[in-house]
Amino acid sequence: MKIALCQMNPIIGDIEGNKQKIIDGYNKAIESRVDLIIFPELTITGYSPQDLIERKAFRDIVTKTTIEIAAITGDVGLIFGTITEEFDTVGTGLYNSAVLCYNGKIQFTQHKTLLPNYDVFDEVRYFESAKEVYVHEFNGERLGISICEDIWNDADYWKQRRYYRDPVQRLVEKGSTILINISASPYAYGRREERYKMLSTLTKTNQLPLIYVCVAGGQTDLVFDGASMCFNQNGSLEVMGKTFDEDFLIYDTKKEYEPITEVEESLEDEVLSALIYGVKEYAIKTGFSKALVGLSGGIDSALVTYIAVKALGKENVHVVMMPSQYSSEGSVKDSEKLISNLGITSDNISIQPVFDKINEMLQPAFEGLSNDITEENMQARIRGLYLMAFSNKFNYLLCTTGNKSEMAVGYATLYGDMNGALGVIADVYKTDVFNIARYINSEKEIIPNNIITKPPSAELRPDQKDEDSLPPYELLDKILRMYLEQYKEVDEIVSVVGNKEIVKNVLQLVDRNEFKRYQSAPPLRVSTKSFGYGRRIPIVQGWRKKNTSLTK
């Protein structure tokens, strides 16, 4: 069978726009003389529409549009993801479904069986699970159609499975000759390699070809990398879609292809590509054409500026330098060099006069009290005020510059450097920030080397260094990875890194600063566990305080 894969980038809720993309893809499939074209999961609505699903008006338009799309089909089959309704006396009556259309109508519908309810997924909130799976005969083949999570439960690959049911195995047992999976699988570094290994194992075990179609695009904090895959019955990957882009692929199950064995680049290359794509997608889909960054002379703001330039073009990025009495001459010069290297516009506006005036006005109330973090945060909040003024006046997308390490331990100021619409590197540890910066400079110096080599500093007090308040970033990040992504506790972490006091202090900082992260900009997700929607920890809680075995 000759099959087209349309790796589409929908916009959540843009039913009419998504419909037109499906029709355009279908017409291209006809021109390409294929038998079948396949689109990703929830193509009509975008993934995930979340509580839009609860609006009847929204669902009615989705249903109407699904029927309208089916009506334009001829002999070429069309599979796409949509929402369907089958009301009963129990449950929501709503399904995340794949529909197969040809000859002017919907000929077959398969609901999703396995509804993920972890990390960023919350499908149990909205959908019912399929009661059964079925195969459908089309053009001499028996199609076994599944949706995203349905294929992530293969007993031959996973040592521990999330679900008892295995819908894909049921499709195999029912006589499928081709397996099809439509997906909306968010990007995280390492996930594409995992998909490849899992799908290769599944196809080799079952001796069936597999067509895996994944969505592309960015949806707020989630990045979808595309990279749709076609495997033959021997488990060899034969065709793969572009990464971080839309694509139109054709796969002939009767043809032999050169096997593909490399599916993922280095962490630096992959994460940088994901962040650039995420910024571009967020800007386009929220109506911004220009970005703004507060440029401090440090590595975080330098990296964010570089990413913004790559995403939107140098003519669409503006930076503001906001020095104070504590800003080093080197930081200003480093910033100016980066501005020159990138060819972007800038402003240099001191915060010192405003800071002095605020101190003067607060002096009667603060008389007799020494300077502390209050004065440091005031400086950050003045900078936040400046940046929001620029954003409002010129309609800039304000990008925050905090990294994951800082966000984890609360080394950031609410209503100051946390101001902004998008946390560009908020899911990137500080050590990876350094590695990515070095990667950018691998052919020529773009980010000034002095920015990379100098000790990190917030420059909010004389001779300040990050390591005055935090452990060295190599140690900090090792602790954070184990706590945030591997769910390890004090004793387990201490057994690896030593120094129980440091470990306890870091974990307490993470827990204490949950309230800041609740108010932070959405972070572009590039790891398996980012802050934001996928990590839900209560602000008010006594876990570490009451559980003395963890703190002794």
β-strand pairing of 247-252 with 237-240: unpaired
β-strand pairing of 210-214 with 2-7: unpaired
The Cα-based distances of 189 to 183, 249, 377, 407 in angstroms read: 17, 24, 34, 20
Q: In 163-302, which ranges are E strands? A: 178-183, 210-214, 216-219, 222-225, 229-231, 237-240, 247-252, 291-294
> Phi-psi category of 50—alpha, beta or left, where left has phi over 0 and alpha has psi -120 to 50?
left
Q: How many CA atoms lie within 13 A of 202 on its CB side?
A: 30
For residues 434 and 401, what is the distance between their CA atoms, to the nearest angstrom? Answer: 14
Rounded (to 5) percent helix, strand, coil in the chain: 40, 20, 40
For residues 218 and 273, what is the distance between their CA atoms, to the nearest angstrom? Answer: 12
Are 197 and 163 spatial neighbours (Cβ–Cβ below 8 Å)?
no
Residues with Cβ within 8 Å of 427's Cβ and at least 6 positions away in sequence, in order, are 404, 523, 524, 525, 526, 527, 530, 531
* Positions marked active-site: 41, 112, 148
Extract the tokens encoding 162.
Answer: 């999330």
Beta bridge pairs of residue 147: 182
Number of C-beta neighbours around residue 55 at 10 A: 12
